[in-house]
Structure 1
């Protein structure tokens, strides 16, 4: 039986694939811009096959999933299969209920940017649920296993193949736009994923360390670690308080910290992943 957490993950996966599908169908496909991935491959193949984009995407993903099971084993969870089906289903609904007969805007570069932003944001939501949309991720796993390529390089190779197919099919202009979109997609996916997971490590040196600790315990509901130190110039004993907070908790602490101790010294670092009590499990 699905628990609440699992249901939310599947709902967010559905939201993510819907956002990604809208970027492809309404902005990238009308301009014949393939930015890699199985959707880019499917966009190329629709030029040769009398099939809609949703059908080619679904067939391509099914083939790749089968290859993944054959060559890599059972590394593809239920959420990935759900994402693959949902991506194709959403595009099928768009094709039949909300069709489009030309680019959304007259500016090709604007369509590229909006399409890539939507696509990258959708994929980031899906990846954050421990799922993927299949596609070239599976090819990358196969390249990684059998050709000793690291996963990032393997994914780059798989997407590059699609982009060069697009150059051959659609022409040099669309191909160059595809390369630009492919590059932006990688940057934006990392940016959006960091936005979901990033935390703040806060290092505090204060003459009122007990009041600061009490505020973090009682008002923010977070733990702290305290290091004993000595001021290099004054030789006074100091408490160094270290805590890790979400962005909202950090803003709350920042707002009130100056009131607690006007002479406080604070160092803030971005932390990309946190595992342990109160955060993600390993």
Structure 2
């Protein structure tokens, strides 16, 4: 129950970040960098009486109905919740803090923030095995009925939306939207990697017993021990291998330095660690 509550809070934090990016940076500049928000920005230009938030809700309802028709019940509850909650968040932000024009006169600066906030929010949501819905549904349908994988169909769908912004708002906005779309996936991947990064230690020390005890009792982590022979000395040494969080890595490095200044340590980043104490499969 505790995990579900934390996941629910984090999903909403992610959605709020996405909503801030949409309301404060995307909508005022008509940046349609793919997704339902991009489609809603374009659609709202034709239906002046409907704000982007309600328009996103309408589009999400249509897409989910289409998804049920073509995909059956193959939708997660988190994704359905995220789809509708994001529409509500965007509508609320627009009502509380309506913007008639962009915050600055620098379109490139606004584009960067229109990418960073949604990318950070989306990464949080994706990291919890959910998504913001929308064009993901279209991508799944196209992927199922073509030879393209879901990544390519999602890119194709978003590219068509970004190109549509150029047709509706002019070539300059279209070019900014396509540039934003190109950068969005890179930033999302970068943020997700930073969430999941761990530190792998390989340690050779004369104080190996103390280090093993510290890892197990103080850091509550496991370690793998194996024997290795030095190429120059031909001495048999005990090698300790363990994977830690960034905070634990700092503690272990400080501890080893305090008891054995001549220890040999290699530390590498791992983009994702799966297993007990880390992410589940």
* CA deviation vs aligned residue, 1:121-165 (integer Å, no higher than 9, x gap): 111111112111101211221122111212221211111111111
- What does residue 30 of structure 1 align with? 28
Q: What is the CA RMSD across the aligned residues, in angstroms?
A: 1.3
- What does residue 89 of structure 2 align with? 90
Q: Cα distance, 1:207 vs. partner?
A: 2.2
Inter-partner Cα distance in structure 2 for 1:195 and 1:25: 26
Q: How does 1:124-203 map to 2 (within 5 A)?
A: 124-203=123-202
Inter-partner Cα distance in structure 2 for 1:169 and 1:182: 17
Structure 1-normalised TM-score? 0.95
Q: Cα distance, 1:220 vs. partner?
A: 1.2
Inter-partner Cα distance in structure 2 for 1:180 and 1:228: 52
Q: Cα distance, 1:231 vs. partner?
A: 0.5
Q: 1:155 to 1:221 in 2, by over 3 A?
A: same
Inter-partner Cα distance in structure 1 for 2:211 and 2:71: 51
SS at match of 1:233: coil
- What does residue 15 of structure 2 align with? 17
SS at match of 1:47: helix
**Matched length:** 280
- What does residue 256 of structure 1 align with? 255
Task: Find out whether 1:271 has 2:256 as its counterpart.
Answer: no
Q: Which runs of 4+ in 1 moved over 3 A?
A: none
Q: Cα distance, 1:281 vs. partner?
A: 2.0
Inter-partner Cα distance in structure 1 for 2:179 and 2:219: 43
- What does residue 7 of structure 1 align with? 5
Inter-partner Cα distance in structure 2 for 1:15 and 1:257: 38
* CA deviation vs aligned residue, 1:47-94 (integer Å, no higher than 9, x gap): 112321011111111111222222223232111111111111111112
Structure 2-normalised TM-score? 0.96
Inter-partner Cα distance in structure 1 for 2:242 and 2:264: 14
Inter-partner Cα distance in structure 2 for 1:262 and 1:238: 17
| Unaligned stretches of 5+ residues in structure 1 | none
Inter-partner Cα distance in structure 1 for 2:90 and 2:112: 20
Inter-partner Cα distance in structure 1 for 2:24 and 2:73: 34
Inter-partner Cα distance in structure 2 for 1:265 and 1:179: 48
- What does residue 67 of structure 1 align with? 66
SS at match of 1:235: coil
Inter-partner Cα distance in structure 1 for 2:93 and 2:134: 20
Q: Cα distance, 1:272 vs. partner?
A: 2.0
SS at match of 2:45: coil
- What does residue 56 of structure 1 align with? 55
Inter-partner Cα distance in structure 1 for 2:102 and 2:26: 8
Inter-partner Cα distance in structure 1 for 2:92 and 2:242: 47
